[in-house]
Amino acid sequence: MTAPRPRPATQPDDDIRIVPFEDAHLHGALRLSAQAGWPHRADDWQLTRSVSEGVVALLGDDVVGTALCSLLGDVAMINMIIVDARMRGRGLGRALMDRVIPLGGARELRLVATEDGRPLYEKLGFLPCGEVRKHQGTAQDARPELPIRTGDAQDVPALAALDQQASGMSRAGLLATIAARGEVLRSDDGGFALLRDFGQGRVLGPVVARDAAHAAALMAEAAHRCAGQHMRVDLPGDAGLGETATRLGLALAGVSTAMNRGAKDRAPSDFKTFGLVSQALG
C-alpha cells in the first residue's frame, strides 16, 4: 500500500477557505493580532477597515489569517497580514497576499514589513524604500518651542490637502474620522498632527509639517497633553526626530521596513510626513 504523499509546505490546506472580511470575523482577527503581540483594540481594527477591503482565512469557523487593502486615492496600503501561529509554513501568507493585492487595482501599493514578512513581499515585487521606527513609552511633559493651537473638524479639508501633498494619499475621510475621535493640533504656518486613542494609550499621527522644527513642536504639544500616559509615534526613518522622541519619553521599540510596488512620481511638496497615521495606514 502506498503511503499518502505529504502536502508541500508551501501550499495552504485544502480545507482553508479565504473569504471577504466581515464584521463577524472581527473577534477572530483580534485574537490573531493579540497573538502577534500587536496592541490593537476593536476600534483600531475598525478604523483601518473603514477605508479598506479585505479577506480572512477560515479553518472551519476559526479565523486563521487576515489581510486588508486600504484604498487611499492613488495609493493602496496592504496591511494587517497575520497568519495564526499554528498555520505558518503552509503557504497561507502567500495565499492571502494573492487575494488581497488585486483589491488595490492599478494603484501604487505600499506596506510596512516585519522582518519575518519581508522575504515574501520581496518575492511579490515589493521593494524597500525606507524604514519606520516605532517610538513609545510614558510621555514626559514638555512645552513646544513654536506656537501650537487646538484645531477642529472644520480644519480637516485644508489639513487633508496638506497630507495629500506630503504622502500622495487621499485620506480626507480617514482624517475626519480620526479628528472626530481625537484631537487636532495645528501650527498655523507649519503643519498639523492628530492625537487619538490607540492600543495601550494614545498615538500621534499623522504628523505633517513644513520642517523638523514644526514637527518637533507638534510632538512636544502631544507629549504635554499625554503626560504620564502611554504614547506612541511611528516615525519614517528619515524624519530625524528620534532624539526628540526619546527626550519626550518615547523610546525606540522597533524598526520595520517600508516597501512599495509600482511607485509613481509625485509633485514636490513643501510639506513632509514626519509621523504615520499608523504602520497599517501610512
Q: What is the CATH number of the domain that holds 237?
A: 3.40.630.90
In a domain? residue 68: yes
More confident residue, 223 or 3: 223
Examine residue 115 and state whether it is found in any structural domain, yes or no.
Answer: no
Determine, yes or no, domain membership for 140: yes
245 and 141 in a single domain? The answer is yes
Q: Are residues 264 and 148 in the same domain?
A: yes
- Regarding whether 102 and 196 lie in a shared domain, the answer is no
Number of domains in the chain: 2
Please say which residue of 58, 88, 106 terminates a domain. 106
Judgement on whether residues 45 and 90 belong to the same structural domain of the protein: yes
Domain shared by 97 and 161, yes or no: no
Do 250 and 202 share a domain, yes or no?
A: yes
pLDDT score of 3 more than 80:
no
Average pLDDT over residues 170-192: 96
Q: Is the pLDDT of residue 32 over 60?
A: yes
pLDDT of 2: 30
Final residue belonging to a domain, choices 70, 86, 106: 106
Residue 257's pLDDT is: 98
pLDDT bracket for residue 189 (50, 70, 90): confident
Task: Please check whether residues 98 and 139 belong to one and the same domain.
Answer: no
Q: For residue 145, what pLDDT band results from cuts at 50, 70 and 90? A: very high
What is the percentage of the chain residues whose pLDDT exceeds 70?
A: 95
Q: Are residues 73 and 157 in the same domain?
A: no
The verdict on 180 and 219 lying in the same domain is: yes
6, part of any domain: no
One domain, residues 33 and 97: yes
Residue 275 has pLDDT above 80, yes or no: yes
Q: How confident is the model at residue 4 (pLDDT cuts 50, 70, 90)?
A: very low
Same domain, 95 and 164: no
Q: What is the pLDDT of residue 12?
A: 60
Average pLDDT taken over every residue of the chain: 94
What's the whole-number mean pLDDT along residues 35-40? Answer: 96
Cα(200)–Cα(36) distance, rounded to whole angstroms? 15
Q: Flag whether 232 is in a domain.
A: yes
What pLDDT, on a 0 to 100 scale, did the predictor assign at position 13? 66
Nearest one of 201, 205, 210, 194 to 153, comparing CA atoms:
194
Residue 271 lies in a domain: yes
The tens digit of pLDDT for each residue in 243-270 reads 999 999 999 999 999 999 999 888 899 9
Provide the domain limits for residue 232.
134-275
Q: Which residue has the higher pLDDT, 132 or 10?
A: 132
Q: Is residue 25 part of a domain?
A: yes
So what's the pLDDT on residue 7?
Answer: 38
Residue 200 backbone phi and psi in degrees, to 5 = -85, -5
The answer to whether residue 91 scores a pLDDT higher than 50 is yes
For residue 263, being part of any structural domain is answered with: yes
Same domain, 78 and 21: yes
CATH classification of the domain holding 65: 3.40.630.30
Residue 118 grid cell: 519581508
Query: With the C-alpha atoms ordered 192, 196, 202, 205, is the resulting torsion angle positive or negative?
Result: negative
